[in-house]
Structures are given as C-alpha cells and as structure tokens.
A and B are shown apart, each in its own frame.
Chain A
C-alpha cells in the first residue's frame, strides 16, 4: 500500500469528488461512494494491496476502529 501522495492534482480531485455528491440524499451518496470504491478497487486489482487498504481504513487514529 502506497502512503505517499500519488495525486497529480489533489485539490482538483477533492473538488470533483464533493461536486459529484452535490444534490444527492444521504442514501444516494452512499450508493455513489460504494460504486466509486468498487471502481477504484478494480483499478488497483492487487489482492494484497486491497486487503491492506481495507485494514488501514478500519484502523482509526488513536487505535480505534470504525463502525463501533
């Protein structure tokens, strides 16, 4: 899993991301996020990297876990 920035344009990506959610309900946003995660995961492909990303996402700063 890469942890250094790989973005060509971090601010531009972030703006596009939150723009994509504009006008959506909470439920519609969740659908968008889920679809986006699956699309991005397919770009990665590598099983070990995907596993590591999932582990890292669950691990909050301070040792907590998401979904408590």
Chain B
C-alpha cells in the first residue's frame, strides 16, 4: 500500500523538496500524539469533513471551518508544523491572505512577528533597472492590512494550530498517516496508520491538503497538466551583523552569482532569505554544502560580514495543476491541486484562498442551506485561479531562465532597453505579485461580481470604528447584502422579509449625508466600502463569507432574489 512518506510520489526528477537541508535550523513546536478512539473500539468513525495535511492550506481550512462552527477532523503525518529539517518554506503573505488571517483572529500575531515591506528593487548587473512602492499603488492602500508581510510559514501554521484549539470543532490528529482512500456516492473511506495502530475513518467530504507529493492524485486517477523546467535554486536563510535595507531586492543578473538571479528578502526574527539561481546542471548536494554556501554569501555581502546560517535548502520547481479539483467526495487543495514556481508568492497564498473558498460552501451544504452542487463552484473558481497562477509564474520563470538562443537575445535586449527607457521595464519580469484572483467562470458568480472585497474601514451605527471583516464575522456563514445609500420604507421591509427567508444579513450602507432607515446599518462617509465592493453606481452588493462579491445590482428587485439563490446554487423557496 502506498504511503505519504516523502520521495514515494516524486514522479519527476524535479522536486520542491528539501532532502539536502543544512544549517542550524529552526526550533519547531511539537504536538502530542493521542491514540484515536477508533483503535480501542475497533469501529470506524464517521465525520462530515476530514482534512488530510496540516500545512498552511489544511490548517487554514480547519480554522475557517471551526469559525463557521463546522465539526471536522484533521490528520497530519507529522507532529509539528513545517516539515522536520525543512521548516522554512513560504515567506511572503499577500494582503488577501492577511485579510483572511485577520478574519480568523491570528493577524495581530503575524503582524507582530513578521516584517512589512512595500519597496521592491530590481537590478541587472550593477544597475537598478526599476523599483516600485506598493503603498503608492491604489489597489493596495485602502485595506486595513498592508500589501505584504514576510514571515516564516511555520509561524502562521503554529498560530493557526493554537487558534483551532481555541475555537474547538476541529480535532487535530498528529502522527496520523493516511495509507488508502476509496469512495462511493455517499461516503469516502480512509485507512489511517498511527504509532498506536491502524484504523478506518469514513467521511462525507475529504480534503487533500497533503501537498505536491500527494498520493491522492493516484488514488482517484486525477489527470494533471504539467510543464517541466530545468531551473535550480538554492536558498540560504541567514542572520547578519550588518543588516541590508527592509526591501525586496532582486537581481536578474547578479555579478556575485555568475550573472544568475538572486532574491533578497527579510522575514521574522531578523532572518534574511537569500535565494540563488544555480546552473541548470548544479548538484543540489554540492550547492547546499556549508562551505559552498558561505563562499557564495561572502561574494555578495563581503568577507567581513558575519553570517549565521539558519537554514539552507536547494530546490527545483515543477509547474502543474490537476484538471479537476473535485473528484466526488474528494477535493484537491493548495499544492495538492497545483504547484507553481515561487515567483510572486503565488503558492501558499493560493492554498489559503482555496481553503477560504471551500470552507463556507461546506458549512452551507452541511447546514442544509445549499445543495451539494454548490461545492462544484469550488472547482470553477479555484481551478481558474490555479491556471492563472501557473500561467503567470511560468512567464516569470521563462524570463529568469531564458532558453539559449533567441530567448536570451530578447532578454538581453529588454534589459538594455530597460536601463534607457521606461517602457521596457514593464517587460522585465521578476515575479508578478499575487493578487486575489477574479472569478469569471463560476456558476455561482454573476458577471457583475467575482471580485474580492478589500478589508476597508467603516463606522458602525454607534460611531465605533469597524471594517469589512467585522461585517463578515457578524454575518457568519450567511450572505452579506450591502444596500448603498438611502432606502425607502418599502425596500426596508422587503429586505427584512428576504433576511428571514434566506441565510442573509442585510445592512444599509449610509453615505456621508445619508439617512439611516434600516435598523442594521453602517456608515461609509468616504465611499470606501462601496468602492471596495466594485459597486460604483450600484445600489447593492451581495458579498459572500469569503469576501468575494457574488453580484451587484441597481434595484432591490426580483433580480436580487435570483442572484441570491444563484450564489447559494439553490432556489430560495427550498432554503
């Protein structure tokens, strides 16, 4: 029988694994193994939701479900966060992810431990080719959360574990390794191996968040669209006596790295991530040897800079996505569903968004508020996001590792023009930073919706300060209907009727000089909330629990009722 042990499922020579890790490493928390009750009873247990994999994706899903009050079990093959000896993975978390973490209650800890940055500089040779400051870009500056925070992935995972234990509802089972999966129309069956023995679990819904080496693709016969590359990199996480600036620096051609690319980024605990592009035929064992790493660092920072090596990991990335993210009872999520190169922070952040997308849908289905077909929209929406993220990261990968010949000629031409003319800088591609993906192919999103709502500020009726996430927490698992501007008494009574017949919280959004007529209202003096809902000129926006707009409209009429039922994949009469 197949197992989750690393290496078994590496189906290409390319890996994003960390077999050759070196360095003093990070101290990780360890969680206790508790013998599952099924072993003593000998009886399989039944659960609504079982999540496999306690990485950032699985834990985010668990925390989202716990917040929605949905019971679930999470199985992890290890007893810690991160991966033993390979605890440093993702480092850069986007505004959308930070907004989700704020909703889950762990944002203050992330902000406290992590490093905010907004300035990025790109160099070729000794010249700065271009720079940006994300704070000056209008797309980022209205949210309560910054454009990005850099922090070691295992910190977020650890915070999620503690939050899940606070919230209850989700049972975390450490050292529980899934060894087999089968399903019929009603139930999925999982065989699980633990230090205390083996047992069987049954579940209505199984989420595979085990990562890029998932055995579930084989178990369900999932087809995969993949693109291979030969680019190799080697990470060094280090501490310095002399600190570089808190900016993202990227070199396309670094003189101190044989004119190959280098990334330099700060994260928590004053640890810097320096990521070096290697020759395509580089030997991972050699390039990650401590003396070789020290020599490389000395070439960049000078022989006098004292360097403490925290962690070293060579990697080569794959680029692929499963063609269907739902296979009956099984949902692929995070790296199980797609693997991208690391450029632009489109890996872990996508897993977080996957989790937030499915959680409220599972909650609605399990409460009987929506039919199971609502879950199909998870594929519609997150597969579109996966394809987009693979496309965008592949373009960057190609710019950073051009094929010999004409591709390299074009890159050289682009870099030389970029030094002279602003237009060519738009072609220099060192990673397009992740954004909340837009959904245009979803059965449950209207063409007027499908976009993420930033966590902008607002005022509650009593004058206290709030934000979009406060409204979403208030709505819980219900849809949030925001009605902008003054509303007539007849409309107010129609909204009240709608709220009692459907899982809906209707809130009037009162403008600067507007009049509050609905009991449930907030104030939006600057119009930021209406802007964040992409609802300029509209009179309402229907916002889902994952802070995506399902639809907007100009009148509280029959179309609103239709859009509400469409968003839940259900006729209102049966809700």
Using a CB–CB distance below 8 Å, which chain A residues touch chain B? 2-7, 10-11, 13-15, 17-18, 21, 24, 26, 29, 33, 56, 59-61
Check B406 against A6 for contact (C-beta < 8 Å).
no
* A/B interface sample: 19 pairs, CB < 8 A: A2-B423, A3-B421, A3-B422, A4-B422, A5-B422, A6-B423, A7-B423, A7-B427, A10-B426, A10-B427, A11-B429, A14-B395, A14-B414, A15-B395, A18-B398, A18-B406, A18-B407, A56-B420, A60-B416
B392 CB, nearest partner CB in chain A, Å: 7
Chain B hits for A61, CB < 8 A: 127, 416, 419-420
A51 CB, nearest partner CB in chain B, Å: 16
B interface, over-half SS:
helix
Counting CB contacts under 8 A, is B410 at the interface? yes
Counting CB contacts under 8 A, is B399 at the interface? yes
Q: How far is the CA of A15 from the CA of B432 in the complex (A)?
A: 14
For B300-337 the 0/1 string (1 means CB < 8 A from A) is 00000000000000000000000000000000000000
Lowest 9 A-B CB distances belong to which pairs? A10-B426, A5-B426, A3-B421, A61-B419, A5-B423, A29-B406, A21-B406, A11-B395, A18-B407
B404 CB, nearest partner CB in chain A, Å: 11
Chain B hits for A10, CB < 8 A: 426-427
For B401-437 the 0/1 string (1 means CB < 8 A from A) is 0100111001000101001111101110100100000
> Known interface pairs A56-B421, A60-B416. Does A17 touch B410 (Cβ–Cβ under 8 Å)?
yes
Q: Which residue of B lies closest to A32 (CB)?
A: B406
Check B423 against A4 for contact (C-beta < 8 Å).
yes
Check A7 against B426 for contact (C-beta < 8 Å).
yes
Interface residues on B, range: 20 to 34
Q: Beyond the given A21-B405, A26-B405, could you list 12 further A-B residue pairs with CB under 8 A, ordered by the A residue number?
A: A5-B422, A5-B423, A11-B432, A13-B427, A15-B398, A18-B398, A18-B407, A24-B406, A33-B406, A56-B420, A61-B419, A61-B420
A interface, over-half SS:
helix
A10 CB, nearest partner CB in chain B, Å: 4
Q: Which residue of B lies closest to A25 (CB)?
A: B405
A48 CB, nearest partner CB in chain B, Å: 17
Q: Which residue of B lies closest to A29 (CB)?
A: B406
Q: In the complex, which of the residues A2, A14, A56 contacts B427, with contact meaning CB atoms closer than 8 Å?
A: A14
Chain B hits for A13, CB < 8 A: 427
Q: Which residue of B lies closest to A12 (CB)?
A: B395
Chain B hits for A7, CB < 8 A: 423, 426-427
Q: Which residue of B lies closest to A7 (CB)?
A: B426
Chain A hits for B420, CB < 8 A: 56, 59, 61
Q: How far is the CA of A21 from the CA of B411 in the complex (A)?
A: 13
> Known interface pairs A3-B421, A4-B422, A29-B406. Does A14 touch B416 (Cβ–Cβ under 8 Å)?
no
Q: Which residue of A lies closest to B414 (CB)?
A: A14
Q: Enumerate B103-130 residues with CB–CB distance to A below 8 Å.
A: 127
> Known interface pairs A5-B422, A11-B432, A14-B399. Does A26 touch B427 (Cβ–Cβ under 8 Å)?
no
Chain B hits for A5, CB < 8 A: 422-423, 425-426
B378 CB, nearest partner CB in chain A, Å: 27
Check B405 against A29 for contact (C-beta < 8 Å).
yes
Q: How far is the CA of A6 from the CA of B426 in the complex (A)?
A: 9
A67 CB, nearest partner CB in chain B, Å: 13
Q: How far is the CA of A24 from the CA of B422 in the complex (A)?
A: 30
Q: How far is the CA of A13 from the CA of B426 in the complex (A)?
A: 11
Q: Which of B399, B406, B407, B425 is most buried by chain A, counting CB atoms within 10 A of its CB?
A: B406
Chain A hits for B416, CB < 8 A: 60-61
Q: Enumerate B379-412 residues with CB–CB distance to A below 8 Å.
A: 392, 395, 398-399, 402, 405-407, 410
Q: Which residue of B lies closest to A2 (CB)?
A: B423
Q: How far is the CA of A18 from the CA of B416 in the complex (A)?
A: 17
Q: How far is the CA of A2 from the CA of B340 in the complex (A)?
A: 35
Q: How far is the CA of A7 from the CA of B428 in the complex (A)?
A: 13
Q: Which residue of A lies closest to B407 (CB)?
A: A18
A38 CB, nearest partner CB in chain B, Å: 17
Chain A hits for B425, CB < 8 A: 5
